[in-house]
Structure 1
């Protein structure tokens, strides 16, 4: 028995309903180890490891009008080749991802948080907490109008990590 082992080894995907994720997940990240589609509502307070598959290693993917709230956990990518940048947390269509806490480490740091280009201005990622490896959420690398740092928060750099803290 390994008490640190993932409790779920398959993708968690819903298109409706309210879902709380509290157990560790290590799953195929090709389309998101955790997938919120349609009108699904997720609250995550768990470690999520996205295993590389077919050009993707997303820990969380949100689409439709879904909403994902990340309160804590460790979000990482497993087995991603250095020459294939993969998004770690990804929003599309009209989805919202709200990050209140957790640690986030992508193989390619610029791809830590991203919104599909054609959905900028509709889909969004709102950051109110968390620690990000070599990624400053107040200065998103992938383009404007996709990642928003809440006005009540600021980013403090600590070595390779950027921590979001209350002002």
Structure 2
């Protein structure tokens, strides 16, 4: 079985956003399954909702850019040894504490583009080549969904959930991949 690694619900936690005053219009901030080659690393901060008296907390595992996750220092300490096997952790300059960006660089051809449900050329619901998935723990991306999704197998899911419980991490969301997003 293949799972998708997601992060904190935006209704429950505050995401990271670019700090004001940065010109990021000409910087292509996306992921392609390769080590980051960005000309600059954006400065980030926790999102503040001016309409709210009480601000939401930042989750230990959150989002900044689709196709990646961010970690607090607490999550970095708990997860980095495992995550680094499948990608890179890049420290971001953060105005409200430590922030790490996780970029998965482990590419596995596992999505059957022809059999997946699409909207135009964008895959909405994946159909997988199950035989291509390793039976040892793995976090990975597929070339067809590399900019938006992070996958993991059941062995990696079990490890992440165990680490989440041991370290009381917030924001980790692991869902079965290849089923409707409206379940």
The two structures have a TM-score, normalised by structure 2, of: 0.26
- Which structure has more helix as a fraction of its residues? 2
- Which structure has more strand as a fraction of its residues? 1
Greater RCO, CA 8 A, separation 6+: 2
